[in-house]
Structure 1
Amino acid sequence: MGENDNINPARRRAGAATGFLALSVAAGVLVSAMVTPVVAVAGVATGAGIHVFETMPEALTVDALAQTTDIYARNGAGEPVLLASVYEQNRKNVGWDEVSGYVKDALISTEDPRFYRHSGVDIPSALRAAIGNAASGEVGSGASTITMQYVKNILVQRAEAIRDKAERQAAYREATKTGMDRKLREMRLAIGLEKSLTKDQILLGYLNIAHFGGSVYGIQAAAEYYYGVNAADLTLAQAATLVATVNEPNGLRIDDPENIGDNRFRRDNDVLAAMLREHAITQAQHDEAVATEIEPNITPPSTGCRTANPLGAGFFCDYVQRVIENEKVLADPKDSGHSTLSRGGYDIFTTLDLDLQAAAVAAVDAYVPHATDVLDLGASLVTVEPGTGRILAMAQNKDFNADPDETSAENTAVNYGADYDYGGSSGFQAGSTYKVFTLAEWLKDGRSLNDTVNGDARPMNLSTFKDSCQGSGTGTYSPKNDSAQRPGNMSVRSATAGSVNGAYFSMAQKLDQCEIRKTAEAFGLKRADGKPLTSYVSDVLGTNEVSPVRMAAAFAGIANKGVYCAPIAIDRIVGPDGAELPVPASACSEAVAPEVAATMASALQSVVRGGTGSASNPGDGIPVFGKTGTTDSEKDTWFVGSTTRLTTAVWVGNVNGDVSLRRSKVGGIQADQLRHRVWKQYMTAANKALPGDAFPESSPRPVRD
């Protein structure tokens, strides 16, 4: 009788004694008989029906089915953890041994009892249909076998994959219309399909392609969604309920309580009765199943990036999808303008470290609320791994939500951590974090941290600033120091620790503004809106709008001995066949010489050892460097810092508006201090998991003229 792991062996006997050629002729005659009322009206002879049948194409390619793509992060042990699934059709293909024997027996008993004895067209059923059609004067019953239904599903699936709406609708109508030509085609293609596939392959193919209501396709997805189990573990009653559904998927789906009565009627009176009649189950099994209530355990799949919000990873998930779209990672070979992401059944293994992500979310949530009455406040934390560019954490103070009808102050679709093309943000002025590129150029030019410069803020003639790209400017520029500082002459190391604007303009005055910009570009920096970086004198203070992920990657280049590695979000992609697909690799290149990077790191360590970034210092003995950044009117605040293993950028600022964070309090804390609180809490936790080492020794004067 019916088994849980294999179909009843007696039902798999090959009994087709009729040859394919003879069957083709017989089927042609039967079809002509079935449609006699139609052909008589049209004046078409029976022989013509046979001719039409025999000249139809008989080959049908079984296309790859649309399947669910799963996106994974990894936990601290390196094990994959599902972030989200994306799909057009919720389907997971399974093998023969992964489907309960009850399902196979139920389908055959109900839909096609002679499945293992015919060769695509069931002659007795076709004869009965022919008689019925002749009596009614219409083309009604079609005597569809499982093979014929599989053919129809293949053609419907093929139609649904067409991108052009008009073409898709036309193909769908052609695949589903009622009429003689469709039935002829299904019979002909069914006969041809049975030449190329075994019976078990056809049965399994049907179970994987069949629609079970809504967006649920295939027996595995149906078992998971309706009962929360694998297809192999379906009971007799559950299997019969799901097989009952395929007759009218949306009308008999059991996630709608109003359908359960109709489904049970079909389950008991059609499916289970047929299984008993065909000796696929015993009377006792039948009676027990009939007495079983239909009690679904609806288990919705993890679909879309909003399902990653509990892990605080909705924005990272969206970032991954945009990488795939923008860089055409999974381009459709038939139409490179579209992606196969939601149809291809891939396993995408990302760079996200869920332990670090949890620490990042905890730090942001501890200090930056989702919404506040004080200002339209935003925050982003991004961690990049030096030497690889792998994005290990990406958090912000909102929930991800791309539904425009559900927007609120606490959620958004805009990823503050990424560029516009990868998250919809136009970026934020970098403030004094941008000074590191002037520092790099200073050292590249053969100068020293011990060199003395004028730190006072003063009017400066723009014509005295060299710019080999666009020429020097005219007029006067009057930068200001924070708190009206007038420190006089000071060392570059001290100027860096105190982030003294006047000193950095004195440095820039001795350099080429174009070369400072080129150095920033060498560290991977770009404007978030996609426009080129500018090289105005004011850019020394970070007036270019940039994203946290790019600032993190740039500082990671300093920690990586001057070698910049572009940020990446995907480690591996595995196709449904188990084969690995190419993924975007991190392009690494030298931004500055190792001795320049070591000296930069030395100066930036002074920032957290009593400088403007001391509030961010975890104080745990792990060497760390960093740089603060505050824009005009304290609209945007930054702290970007690094160990040898982790580089983290934190931005806290106005999403919209120009409210001063220095003059505002959030949760009782002066708002311009929130960046330090977030960075310190997060990196304290991160350093316990991934402690960094000492940075290389710096050179007194790394590059000489």
Structure 2
Amino acid sequence: MGLCLTAGVLLAAMVFPFVGGLGLASNRAADQVDQTSGDLAKGELPLVTTITDMNGEPIAYLYDQYRVPLESAQISDTMKAAILAIEDKRFYTHQGVDWQGIARAAAKAGVDGGATQGASTLTQQYVKNYMAFVLGADNEQEAWEKATEATIGRKMREARVALQLEQQMTKEEILTGYLNIVPLGNQTYGVGAAAKAYFKTTADKLTVPQAALLAAIANRPSSLNPGANPERALERRNTVIDKMRENGAFGADETEAKKKADEYKAEPLGVTDDLQILPKGCVGAGDGPIYGFFCSYLLDYLQASGITKKQLQRGGLTIKTTMDPVATKAAKQSAEQQVPKKQNGIANVMSIVEPGKDRHRVRALVASRDYGNNADLGQVARPVPAEVLPFGPGSVNKVFTAAAAMEKGITGIDREIPVPKVHHSRVYPNGGSAWKVENAGNGYAEKMSLTQALATSPNTGFVILQEKTGLNEVVDMGYRLGMRETLATHNRGAEPLKSDGSNGPSQGDWTKQNNAGSYTLGPGATSVLELANVAATIVSGGTWCPPTPVEKVTDRYGKDIPLKEKPCEQAVNTELANSLAQGLSHDTTGSGTAADAARAAGWNRPTIGKTGTTEEHKSVAFMAATMQYAGAVMTYADGNRPEVICANPIRFCPGSNSGVYGGQVAAPTWFNAMKVIHEGKDPIPLPPAAPRYK
């Protein structure tokens, strides 16, 4: 035995000085070791990212590893004693490396090429866990296999980092670092998260049996899972308690120590029946069925703004969003009141944006459907209130025709436009012959003001106005006011256009190239969020801003992280925007298409608005705004076999000649939600129109 020990010590003494030249093979490898030890000393571990609402209340969490980082003082002495007793009782006396273990591994490697022999110190285990769960967090299984591979090279690499670490950190810092990084099963890493998950407590309050169980399953959470293998977990826990007694954790009196140990071992595992795992991702967001749509849009927006998925999953960021929980819950309730969440094939979605000249904050994104992965429950896991949906907003697009015509001086809000019962358009031929355009109903005067036309929505008047203005100008106005992603989608569909344009043309380009005069009648794919933002642009004096869901992003140290957001821009001049707002102010009063819905809701605030209905009644929309909030609603057939939609009650009614209109379902959804959201806020008048646009 003495010869073997001597040989081991000599082997260690001989081998280790050559680690830089032989074990690591190159200066580059040595640099990697230096970098690893430096990173370990900093202690930057993958942390949980927290998403909050506008008030700072958490609504969702993102993480690869559920970890609650702790300082040494936040971890009980009991927990420290338990881990040292079972893993490294000589921790405070060694220099970071188990030389005898290294020598045994080297000797075995010389015999059979392996290096499985030899225990690791806690410092070495800290290094191993760091390599697996920090450096290799993108593929933990592969990284763990590499970090534990049975080779002398790996042992030597680990040893060198451990030695360096002992020079850079105190023993207490190393112990704390290990207890923060070690995997403890059920998605938990570190004793902070595990204490909450298993025992609904904090690491500073862990009892002896609790601490012993965590120490027992450290690094072996699968085989010793207290839920799946309670007998093995209990056996191992009791072994830890015995080791704690041997290590003097229960006092010097052996009789008293054994009595305490027996009492601790007699206690049950004590793991809570419902593990307190932090909800993860948008499906588990706060009120998941309600907040998930906003959360999903937020993640897409952040990645488009320069925040990587790795930062989101591991960075420990705090993302304060613009989401208003009051507005969100009111909109959800209203959307679901009009269209039940399990309604077969029909959905109702709403987006709310707060106007402004510096930012357009997204306050709510909801749907009648719940957010989730269970289609049988009517759930959907896409940000449908913000997506470009494959149905049109109908006559809402007439707003773009009016704005473009006003800008060119063709008409003003008080000037009359012709409204024949039927119009045969030769500007937009249909199959070589004139396109026959009719109004949705009778009773229109032959001529009316643009304001009255926007309120009552005759088709012929706006097709004629588009002919005079120019289709390209109308489409461009739609883009300028806010329909940017909508017009950039694939040829009239909801598919994003590829960067090389290979699946093009875009919806906007297709409309121009094909001289599609129906654009003013709104048959094409639409983003409800962009409709809401159009309304926000109009009441913001013509200032377009990207609809942002983010207030600010800070890193783990509280430092702001800038986003690559598009700047606001003056889409149209302020006088035109204000005049257009006045032109849109009669849809909710008198004979306007949304007036009945407004009266039913008791709505009497100054409001701009425009309803829309597609020709086949498979989708309807309502876009409206006060000076405080802008919003849009769309009710559409979201199933595989879209049909005509009818109201009262909402349903499919194939072959019916009395399908749903924008003033039904969509408009009531808007008014009932906005009535709650505006409570306690004084009405603000719309700005006056400029004489040149009257």
Per-residue deviation, 1:237: 2.1
Per-residue deviation, 1:50: 4.8
* Whole-angstrom distance in 1 between the partners of 2:298 and 2:204: 33
* Whole-angstrom distance in 1 between the partners of 2:423 and 2:520: 15
Q: Does 1:385 align with 2:363?
A: no
Residues 428, 517 of structure 2: 8 Å contact kept:
no
Partner of 1:445: 408
CA deviation map 1:622-667 (0-9, x unaligned)? 3222110000121111111111111110101111444222477328
CA deviation map 1:24-63 (0-9, x unaligned)? xxxxx979628x9xxxxxxxx8886355446444633336
* Whole-angstrom distance in 2 between the partners of 1:685 and 1:498: 27
Q: Does 1:314 align with 2:292?
A: yes
- How does 1:523-542 map onto structure 2 within 5 Å? 523-526=481-484, 527=486, 528=489, 529=494, 530=496, 531-533=506-508, 534-535=511-512, 536-542=516-522
Per-residue deviation, 1:141: 4.2
- How does 1:456-495 map onto structure 2 within 5 Å? 456-463=420-427, 475-495=433-453
Residue from 150, 158, 167 that aligns with 1:186: 158
Q: Does 1:678 align with 2:673?
A: no
- How does 1:101-500 map onto structure 2 within 5 Å? 101-122=77-98, 141-158=117-134, 160-162=136-138, 172-256=144-228, 259-269=229-239, 271-282=240-251, 283=257, 286-297=261-272, 298-308=275-285, 309-310=287-288, 312-327=290-305, 329-331=306-308, 339-373=310-344, 376-387=345-356, 388-402=359-373, 406-408=374-376, 410-419=378-387, 425-446=388-409, 447-463=411-427, 475-500=433-458
Partner of 1:590: 570
* Whole-angstrom distance in 1 between the partners of 2:587 and 2:469: 23
Per-residue deviation, 1:107: 1.2
TM-score (norm 1): 0.82
CA deviation map 1:166-213 (0-9, x unaligned)? xx8765433212243333332222112111222122111111110112
Bigger shift: residues 187-196 or 172-181: 172-181
Identity of aligned residues (%): 28
CA deviation map 1:379-426 (0-9, x unaligned)? 101000101211100110222234xxx43360122332123xxxxx54
Per-residue deviation, 1:670: 8.0
CA deviation map 1:189-240 (0-9, x unaligned)? 2112111222122111111110112422111121121122222332232111
Decide whether aligned partners of structure 1 residues 547 and 139 sit closer, same or farther in structure 2, where only a CA change above 3 A counts.
closer
Per-residue deviation, 1:126: 7.4
Q: Does 1:577 align with 2:522?
A: no
How many residue pairs match? The answer is 632
Cα RMSD over matched residues? 3.2
Bigger shift: residues 221-230 or 177-186: 177-186
* Whole-angstrom distance in 2 between the partners of 1:248 and 1:126: 22
Residues 322, 550 of structure 2: 8 Å contact kept:
yes
Per-residue deviation, 1:460: 3.0
Bigger shift: residues 125-134 or 477-486: 125-134
Per-residue deviation, 1:464: 8.5
CA deviation map 1:587-636 (0-9, x unaligned)? 21112222222221112110001200113324344322211000012111
* Whole-angstrom distance in 2 between the partners of 1:247 and 1:458: 78
Decide whether aligned partners of structure 1 residues 46 and 238 sit closer, same or farther in structure 2, where only a CA change above 3 A counts.
closer
Residues 30, 126 of structure 1: 8 Å contact kept:
no
* Whole-angstrom distance in 2 between the partners of 1:509 and 1:137: 83
* Whole-angstrom distance in 1 between the partners of 2:277 and 2:231: 22
Partner of 2:49: 69
* Whole-angstrom distance in 2 between the partners of 1:397 and 1:46: 69
Query: Which amino acid counterpart does residue 363 of structure 1 have in structure 2?
Result: S
Decide whether aligned partners of structure 1 residues 681 and 128 sit closer, same or farther in structure 2, where only a CA change above 3 A counts.
same
Q: Does 1:655 align with 2:638?
A: yes
* Whole-angstrom distance in 1 between the partners of 2:455 and 2:534: 19
Decide whether aligned partners of structure 1 residues 662 and 523 sit closer, same or farther in structure 2, where only a CA change above 3 A counts.
same
* Whole-angstrom distance in 1 between the partners of 2:79 and 2:332: 45
* Whole-angstrom distance in 2 between the partners of 1:116 and 1:365: 63
Query: Can you give the 5+ residue segments of structure 1 that lack an aligned partner in the other structure?
Result: 1-28, 37-44, 332-337, 420-424, 466-471
* Whole-angstrom distance in 2 between the partners of 1:679 and 1:31: 84
CA deviation map 1:304-341 (0-9, x unaligned)? 211125450111111111222334x223xxxxxx6432
- How does 1:660-671 map onto structure 2 within 5 Å? 660-662=644-646, 665-666=649-650, 671=660
Decide whether aligned partners of structure 1 residues 693 and 311 sit closer, same or farther in structure 2, where only a CA change above 3 A counts.
farther
Query: Which amino acid counterpart does residue 238 of structure 2 have in structure 1?
Result: D
* Whole-angstrom distance in 2 between the partners of 1:139 and 1:642: 71
Query: Which amino acid counterpart does residue 633 of structure 1 have in structure 2?
Result: E
* Whole-angstrom distance in 1 between the partners of 2:541 and 2:408: 18
Query: Which amino acid counterpart does residue 445 of structure 1 have in structure 2?
Result: K
TM-score (norm 2): 0.84
Partner of 1:512: 470
Partner of 2:627: 644
